[in-house]
Amino acid sequence: MPAEPLLAIVIPVFRHSVLMAGAVESALAQEADFAIRIVIVNDGCPHPETHETGLAYARAYPERVTYLRKANGGLSSARNHGIAHVLAHLPTVRAIYMLDADNALRPLAMARAMAALQASDAGWIYPDIDMRGLTSGHDYSGPYSVLLHLAMNTCEAGSLVRREVFEAGVMFDTSFKAGFEDWDFFLSAVQAGFRGQNIEGMGFLYRKRPESMLADSEREREPILAKLRAKHRALFSPRAMLEMEAVEAPRYAFILADLNEVWLATDPLSPAEVLSPEDFALRLWRARAAPGRHPLPPLTVVTRSDALAEAAAAGMLHGLLWQLEVIADQAHVAGLVGVQGGADRLGLRLLPEGQRSADEAAVLMLATELVTSSAADAKGAWMGSLLGATPQPRVVLAQVTLPPALPVAALGQGGMAAALLAAIAGLRASPWARGAQIADWRAPDLKRRAASHMILRNRLGQQPTLPLLRGTGRHVGLVLSILEFGGVEKVALNLARAFAARGWAVHLVLVGVRDAAVSAEWRATLASVTFLGDPDYAPWGGGDRDYFGTEIPRWATSGNHARLIALLHWLDVVVDLHSGAGVAVMGQLKRQGVVTVTSLHLADLSAAGRPTGNPFLALAYEHAFDLFAPCSHALGDWLHALGIPEDKIVPVPNAPGFPLDPAQAESLQQARRDRPPGRLRALFLGRLDAQKGLQRLAEVIAQSRDLPVDWRVIGKAVLADGPLPEAISAVLEPALTTPEALTEALAAADVLVLLSEYEGLPLTVLEAMRQGVVPVATDVGAVAEVVQDGVTGVLLPFDQAVPACLAALRALTPDHLARLSANAAAAMQGRDWLAATAPLALALDRIAATRQPSADTDLPPPAHVAPLGAHDTEMERIDLTPPLWAALQSDEPARLHRYEPFAGFLQFGAPEGADVVLDLQPRRLRGQGRALSLTPEGRPQPWFTYELILDGAPLQDLIALDFRLRYALPRPRNLYAQFMLSGAGEQVTIDFGTLRGTDAGSPMTLTLALRQVAPEMRRSLARVRLVLSTDGEMLPLDLMEFSVEGRR
């Protein structure tokens, strides 16, 4: 044996004073054609025997064994001590093996490991683990995966580590006292650029006892994991994990029926591994035989390549795949059908189950495990029923709507259920299918490979993540609740354009709707459009807390935040544009490394004139935003006054909402100047709702009939505020949406009249001024920032708006008008979005340059995930409200006894023999409607219930019942809600949960998902009781609203 060792085995010893001999002997017994130095490190073991044994071996084998002794410092410290000795004194050693004192090696282990190390560029060689004591074999074979290593400790400390790893400064962290120091060590090696490699059957023997340090570390797993995540933040960042997933464990197998190919990819727009169906079959059965060794995409997508191309052309490909994953979580098979919609409408909604068949889908997604098990099933009847009238797998389809400009030729074509079954049949017929039943004897410890997509999901609250590889460049997300034709949407479009002009990729995320007006201008600007599709999401409403009078929406406190975070985490910048409840995720996004911005426009006014709305909500979530981007300097000042630090405020003053060629602007202005004096052309352009001061406008129009004024009112009612005043409807013209039509309308106007209740900085005013149209507007919001009274327009005092407007119209002589017009046009010179967003771009550069993820912990999974279609408005609804409640007009009081129904829909419950009665008093509410005051009398009981009864509902035809309630309590008490269903001797109870005392007074919807009841049972049930329990307190209750809707 050569004298110069090529390999060192470091054996730290603490308390294993006897067992260490086994480890040392197995090291001495190594059969290799190179020399091995054994370094025993006595880590201050309190047993003198350790010292004596170590010395004995050093004396007996002075050329082969080094014995070191040090003060106790823990396992990491002892290993480091031995490593440092080797590095300092054994320069010929090329690799170091860590052998714990209670483990052992088979004689060829080091020769094999060294050969593997020398034959590869791996940083370390790790073994399978054969356990002694608690006997078992564990297979860790297969390609090394960093992603998998983030989820589990895949590399045993008993690995052979290349010298260069230590020379790169990677050592064992001595602060890991409770275990997993090896996990930390190898992750450090990964961060230093090294990767591991398994060799099967290396010959590592692990002594497994019921109680061991490993058992301790499993108990301490969570705190240690938190420490690991904090230390290796860059690796654990979901963005980095997504990149790893794409390389190491592609999420989807795309079975492409048109190409007869299978693509393995996470992002189908990135390079994929392309397999023939036969090769895919081999891959699938190989993974079936050894799931820990052979990776396989965990999800299968059956479609055509042109369907993917059409979805990509619409910028919706990744969002659609993501949505299908969300669906596939709750159904066996998720599908997508495409339809052509109206002009500029993009939509994505769930179809009621059974409305369309699986074979009408252009894309199907399901767990690959289902594919495999169906292929392994000789008959395959379960999956085969997909083509039948009543498929056994639960199939949920989503429908994507694209505008005529985007084709749905492939997305509108079905046949994918048949394609799936054909693929399964092919897999079943594969020659490899039968052999896959024969597995290796070692347990596949890395079988998590089969669910590799869950590794990233676990970081993000178990939610699917967008399968989009970001590549290089800056990615900016715009989060909107809705996308129609409002001012905020126009600002969003112009921000998007300004960002895109800087070369940034802009992604639109719509959180509150399933259908939106994504015009050609939007589509030309955006890289992607994604719908959140959370049935629970509502921008406002349902909240039980307020911040200085502004409600914190319910979704902000109890929604499925993780789902939205999973959709946004990968972006560089997220701009929230009045999404309402969406602000709740911004803090988490910031911790994930996203720069968060809130784009603010105006405060709403409550009915009583109290300012409220998005700016106030943004104040409540100040910490969650890096930057506040108000649409005006005035709003910026307001934010600062209310506590936002100056550094965080970067105004992006509004500019005209659509571009206008300067030459055309000048030409139009010249035409205006050349126009001979005549009647004044007054224009109202905008949304027709109360905020815009319609009543005042109507008065002005009515009272200006004697003036030389011609009126045009152009717009559309967005909110139903009752019938339009006659003066307005008489001159009303349809809304204009294209820049050309708007330009034309403004060119034909002299003044723009805007008598709003409240405003931000209206784009219409800016667009009008650019064309020399003189604004006559109430002095609200930031209007005064651009309208200088008597210089660029006319500012009207809000409380005297009508007479002041009439006076201004009278006073606008041709000369005066021309002067104001010229000034207005001049004031708008150079006012564009690129300039407006320049300070914001600088601020984003500044923050992004130093932004690192700081999130150490996994997002918790949401406490509640809304069932598919729970609030799907497209589902047919039938009113099942008990007619006697609906017709209740009597003011007659009544006295009820236990379980004595009142008008067939209301009763109370108490223990038998309880001396309790209920006084019922109908009364009118101050506004509209009626209430039933229910006042129990009697001593407190062990339990007491109010029960709302629904009799004779066709439960077998329904999928859900929505009980809508509003009730008041004299004291803030929680009620516990249950649905009790009965009929034909059957009884089923379904708990709904606690109704918080603070919810009293607010409308609430209690949904009974009838899927929870077996269909055969549902046929027997005829009566549903909504039971509201007190804890026995005789609690009076005012029932103010009650209705029931069934969904089918």
Q: Is 137 in the site for another protein (CB under 8 A)?
A: yes
Q: CB-wise, 70 or 1048, nearer to another protein? A: 70
Q: Rank residues 27 and 786 by Cβ distance to another protein and give the closer one.
A: 27
Q: What is the DSSP letter of 110?
A: H
Query: Which CB sits closer to another protein, 292 or 487?
Result: 292
Q: Assess 678 for contact with another protein (CB under 8 A).
A: no
**Is 508 within 8 Å of 493 (Cβ atoms)?**
no
CB closer to another protein out of 107 and 814: 107
Q: Is 294 in the site for another protein (CB under 8 A)?
A: yes
Question: Which residues partner with 789 through β-bridges?
Answer: 793
Query: Where does residue 253 fall: left (phi above 0), alpha (psi -120 to 50 degrees), or beta otherwise?
Result: beta
Binding to another protein in span 393-452, by CB under 8 A: 431-432, 434-436, 438-442
- Least Å distance, CB 440 to another protein, is 7
Q: Is 734 helix (H, G, I), strand (E, B) or coil?
A: coil
Q: Which is nearer to another protein, 42 or 704 (CB)?
A: 42
Query: Given candidates 15, 19, 22, 70, which one binds another protein under the rule CB under 8 A?
Result: 70
Specify whether the CB–CB gap between 266 and 465 falls below 8 A: no
**Residue 127 CB, nearest distance to another protein (Å)?**
10
Q: Let me know how long the chain is.
A: 1048
Q: Identity (one letter) of the amino acid at 976? A: Y
| Least distance to another protein, CB of residue 254, Å | 21
CA dihedral sign of residues 838, 843, 846, 848: negative
Shortest Cβ distance from residue 92 to another protein (Å)?
5
Give min distance, CB of 554 to another protein, in A: 51
Query: CA 65, CA 57: separation in Å to the nearest integer?
Result: 6
One residue of 28, 87, 106, 273 binding another protein per CB under 8 A: 106
Tell me how far, at minimum, the Cβ of 137 lies from another protein, in Å: 6
Span 180-209, contacts to another protein by CB under 8 A: 200-203
- Rounded to a whole number of angstroms, the minimum distance from the CB of residue 296 to another protein is 11
Q: Closest distance between another protein and the C-beta of residue 378, in Å?
A: 15
- Least distance (Å) between residue 179 CB and another protein: 25
How far apart CA 203 and CA 105 sit, in angstroms, is 6
Is the CB of 106 or the CB of 877 nearer to another protein?
106
Query: In what helix (H) or strand (E) does residue 981 lie, and over which residues does it extend?
Result: strand 975-983
199 vs 1004 by CB, closer to another protein: 199
Q: Is the separation of the CB atoms in 537 and 579 below 8 Å?
A: no
Q: Which of 251, 293, 514, 590 binds another protein (CB under 8 A)?
A: 293
Tally Cβ neighbours within 10 Å of residue 356. Answer: 16
Considering the rule CB under 8 A, would residue 33 count as an interface residue with another protein? no
x/- map, 343-372, another protein, by CB under 8 A: ------------------------------
Looking at the Cβ atoms of 79 and 687, the one nearer to another protein is: 79
Pick one of 1, 29, 33, 89: the residue that binds another protein (CB under 8 A): 89
- Indicate the residue among 84 and 735 with the shorter CB distance to another protein: 84
CB of 290 to another protein, least distance (A): 5
Stretch that binds another protein, among 130-138, 379-387, 678-686, 915-923 (CB under 8 A): 130-138
* Closest separation in Å from C-beta 135 to another protein: 7
Beta-bridged to residue 687, according to DSSP, are none
User: What is the nearest approach in angstroms of another protein to the Cβ of residue 73?
Assistant: 11
Shorter beta-carbon distance to another protein: residue 43 or 572: 43
Q: Which is nearer to another protein, 71 or 389 (CB)?
A: 71
Spell out a b/e string for 620-657, using b for 16 or more CB atoms within 10 Å of the CB, else e: bbeebbbbbbbbbebbbebbeeeebeeebbbbbbbbbb
Question: Can residue 133 be called a binding residue for another protein (CB under 8 A)?
Answer: no
- By CB under 8 A, the residues from 38 to 67 that bind another protein are 44, 48-49, 51-52, 55-56, 58-59, 62, 66-67
Q: Tell me the site size for another protein, rule CB under 8 A.
A: 54
Q: Tell me: does residue 286 bind another protein (CB under 8 A).
A: yes
Structure tokens at 156: 């045993």
Q: Which of residues 1009-1038 bind another protein (CB under 8 A)?
A: none
Query: Which range binds another protein by CB under 8 A, 102-110, 406-414, 618-626, 657-665?
Result: 102-110
- Is there a contact between 197 and 116 (Cβ–Cβ < 8 Å)? yes
Residue 1022's contacts (CB-CB under 8 Å, 6 or more residues apart) are: 951, 952, 953, 955, 982, 983, 984
In whole angstroms, what is the distance from residue 692 CA to residue 696 CA? Answer: 9
Nearest to 778 by CA among 768, 765, 767: 765
DSSP 890-938: ----EEEETT--BTTTEEEE--TT---EEEEEEEE-SSSSEEEEEEEES
Tell me the residue ranges of DSSP E strands in 832-904: 877-879, 894-897
Among 85, 332, 1018, 1025, binds another protein (CB under 8 A): 85
Output the CA torsion 407→410→412→416 (10° steps): -160
Dist. CA 1010–CA 999, nearest whole Å: 24
278 binds another protein (CB under 8 A): no
Nearest distance, CB of residue 334 and another protein, angstroms: 28
**Strand ranges, E, within 158-284:** 160-162, 196-199, 204-208, 252-256, 261-265, 273-275
Considering the complex, state which of residue 440 and residue 874 has its C-beta at the smaller distance from another protein: 440
Instruction: Report the nearest approach of another protein to the CB of residue 85 (Å).
Output: 7
User: What minimum distance in Å lies between the beta carbon of 369 and another protein?
Assistant: 16
**Contact flag: residue 144 with another protein (CB under 8 A):** no
Name which position in 269, 289, 702, 748 contacts another protein (CB under 8 A): 289
Q: Measuring CA to CA, which residue among 950, 962, 957 is closest to residue 867?
A: 962
Cα–Cα distance list, 688 to 345, 714, 725 (Å): 22, 9, 11
Residue 545 amino acid letter: R
Q: Which of residues 689-708 bind another protein (CB under 8 A)?
A: none
Among residues 784, 797, 777, 867, the alpha carbon closest in space to that of 827 is found at 784
How near is the Cβ of 579 to another protein at its closest, in Å? Answer: 49
Tell the burial category of 867 from Cβ atoms under 10 Å away from its Cβ (0-12, 13-18, 19+).
middle
Q: Site for another protein (CB under 8 A): which residue of 16, 81, 138, 648?
A: 81
Q: For the residues of 762-776, what is the DSSP string, one character each?
A: -HHHHHHHHTTPEEE
Cα–Cα nearest to 677, from 814, 520, 860, 490: 814
Least distance to another protein, CB of residue 1021, Å: 49
Options 91, 662, 814, 893; binder of another protein; rule CB under 8 A: 91
Least Cβ distance, residue 61 to another protein (angstroms): 11
Question: Within 433-536, where are the H helices?
Answer: 453-459, 487-501, 520-525
Give the three-state DSSP class for 96. strand
Of 3 and 608, the one with the shorter C-beta distance to another protein is: 3
Q: Which of 20, 100, 126, 130 binds another protein (CB under 8 A)?
A: 130
Residue 167 near another protein by CB under 8 A: no
Q: Which two tokens stand for residue 568?
A: 């946004």
Among positions 15, 28, 87, 92, the unique one binding another protein when judged by CB under 8 A? 92
Sites of contact with another protein (CB under 8 A): 3-5, 37, 44, 48-49, 51-52, 55-56, 58-59, 62, 66-71, 81, 85, 89-92, 106-108, 130, 135, 137, 200-203, 282, 285-286, 288-290, 293-294, 431-432, 434-436, 438-442
